A and B are shown apart, each in its own frame.
Chain A
């Protein structure tokens, strides 16, 4: 039996246990992924308090969907990231009713970063976030725009396509390529 199969079985057993309301297993799930979920929430939410609320909501969502987890379909880390991102995207989209998407336009990246520092945001000392923005800045124009609006802003791909007057297939391809580039750069940094 391969190592990955073993890990798949361990992950499945954990999620089955979470699905049967085992609180200890929820603790175990948090111990494995709490930091990842918090970091994702911290990146997406404007304040620590909102990030902490989001983490609690994500784990409730993970409990609700635990019996859907299939290790053949995705590794548990992918599943956790998916549920987390969906939740954060939902929250960002609700927030969008109040904040115009244009504030996330690539032309305002510098302004946005400066605003965060000026406003004393929790992220003001976060060099990683600035580094991420810098990496996004190096992407080709369309990829940069799409990744800012979708990945950080939570806009739907359809919305982006309509606003940019670009076919949704092109938007999807651009975003997919941008994610691969960011992933590769992150991988390079890990190896460096």
Chain B
């Protein structure tokens, strides 16, 4: 992927318009780009937030904040319950989790365990799975 394609894809990435495999290609190209190009991509993506100016001028209802916090709290609770059940079922099995590894930051290969079957996949793939 050359620099022009990288910039082009960065805009589509920021708008969530790339497919999972394209996102992975973009991530790989971004990581291998020079710091100057990375900074340029980052600036281009940030500038895309100007599109916000084209969004409707509407304010969220006042009770939405509480509803959002409650929705996240319930998900946190559910995740804790599932983690607890998993720990009880087997102390040797890694827990299937919707959360993703911080190793994503480094693009490392990580081990993940889903459904009791251990396999190796790239952290970005885990992120994508968790994302969907």
Contacts and interface: CB of A to CB of B under 8 A. Distances in A.
B61 interface: yes
B47 interface: yes
A173 to B, nearest CB: 6
B8 interface: yes
A90 B131 CA distance: 11
- Classify the secondary structure of A's interface with B: helix
Interface string B87-109: 00000000000111110110000
Contacts of B117: none
Nearest to B60: A38
B3 to A, nearest CB: 13
A192 to B, nearest CB: 10
Interface string B33-57: 0000010001001111111111111
Given A35-B59, A126-B56, A190-B53, A30 B68 contact: yes
Contact of A173 (B8, B101, B104, B132): B8
B47 A65 contact: no
6 contacts: A34-B60, A65-B127, A67-B101, A85-B15, A128-B54, A179-B11
Interface of A: 19, 21, 23, 26-27, 30-31, 34-36, 38-40, 42-43, 48, 52, 55-57, 59-61, 63-65, 67-68, 70, 72-75, 77-78, 81-90, 123, 126, 128-129, 131-132, 135, 150-151, 156-158, 172-173, 175-176, 179-180, 182-187, 189-190
